[in-house]
Chains A and B, each alone.
Chain A
Amino acid sequence: MSSPTQIIKSKSQVHIFAIITLAIIFAVGLFVVGYDQGHIFSVVLGESAYADLYIHEITHDMRHAAGFPCH
């Protein structure tokens, strides 16, 4: 009687769910660090978020250092 043989298969196909998840993370992360001017917090804080610019301020140095256009 022969014992089962284990074979290794390398599969490059990735689930579309993973691609969509990563694409969303890419877009949201890029927007937060590079472009948000109060938009995200305005959902919770309303118009004042556009004046407070919390995300802009906390990402300010990275925006300049990574090459994003800033003020």
Chain B
Amino acid sequence: MKTILFLSIVLFSGALAGTLHGVANLAIVEPYLDTAIGIENQNLFASGEEKDTPQFWVEYDAYRDWQKGGQILAGTILGTSMGGLFGIVYVLSRNVLPKGSDLKKSFTLAAVMWLTIYLIPFLKYPANPPTVGDPETVVLRSVLFLSFIAISGFGAVGFYQAYKRFQSKIKIVAFIGYGMFIAIVFTIMPPNPDEVTAPMDLVNGFRVMSVVAVSVFWVSIAMIFGGLWHKLRPDVEYECI
């Protein structure tokens, strides 16, 4: 394996897919964030913590522009980070991913990772817009969220090991096993402790768009990573005999 080329492919595809994720957020998630933060502002005015003055809105608009721009940078960093994980899993599992092109392998792995470390944890602990989270519970929520992702991810790796050892006829048992395992974990893990007080149409719309935007990341990384691997073949070495 050409290590430098491999690392370059992983980091570039992760960074680019993450940037696209940030752009997707800006286009489809931001309107919900703005609405939610607008509710927070109204609460601040009602409680007297802030005053509804032109000065407030000047500062607020500048602050929000800065945050919105930062989202692209955050997307690039998060994408590079997740790209790193994707690259590790890809290179360690490439031989057992479905036969065919690297694009097909890449999409298969992205689909598995999207399901096990994103969608299933999301169903248990869905994304929330501002106004929903209680600052007092953020540590507990972070621990629950990360734990569920880790349990689901490592569970998938464990059942993948079983999948490799099983004969073809009973490989389906590994899928059923993971399904039963994660269903039990899903039931046992405590729920998000925060009560949702924001309007549910806002919360649900935000969650749908959040899923779409994160899915943009997983589709993008599969396409970019698989395409670059196919084109540049970091695994191929030439020998003269």
Contact = CB atoms under 8 A, between A and B. Distances in A.
A58 B7 CA distance: 27
A22 B67 contact: no
A30 interface: yes
B22 A62 contact: yes
Nearest to A21: B7
A62 B75 contact: yes
Interface string A27-43: 11110111100000000
B110 interface: no
A71 B133 contact: yes
Interface of A: 4-15, 17-19, 21-23, 25-30, 32-35, 57-71
A27 B94 CA distance: 22
Describe B's contact surface by its main secondary structure.
helix
Given A7-B241, A12-B1, A14-B91, A58 B81 contact: no
A23 B92 CA distance: 13
Contacts, number: 164
Contact of A6 (B88, B206, B239): B239
A42 B24 CA distance: 31
7 contacts: A7-B239, A22-B84, A29-B82, A60-B67, A62-B22, A62-B75, A69-B125
A23 B25 CA distance: 26
Contact of B84 (A11, A25, A62): A25
B177 interface: no
Interface of B: 1, 3, 6-7, 10-11, 21-22, 25, 29-30, 33, 66-68, 70-71, 73-75, 77-78, 80-82, 84-85, 87-88, 91-92, 94-95, 118, 121-122, 125-130, 133-135, 138, 141-142, 145, 206, 210, 213-214, 233, 235-241
A26 B142 contact: no
B48 to A, nearest CB: 20
B127 A67 contact: yes
A69 B125 CA distance: 9
A25 B85 CA distance: 9
3 tightest A-B contacts by CB? A29-B81, A58-B70, A62-B74
A8 to B, nearest CB: 6
Contact of A7 (B66, B138, B238): B238
A14 B67 contact: no
Interface hub of B81, B126, B130 (most chain A Cβ within 10 A) = B81
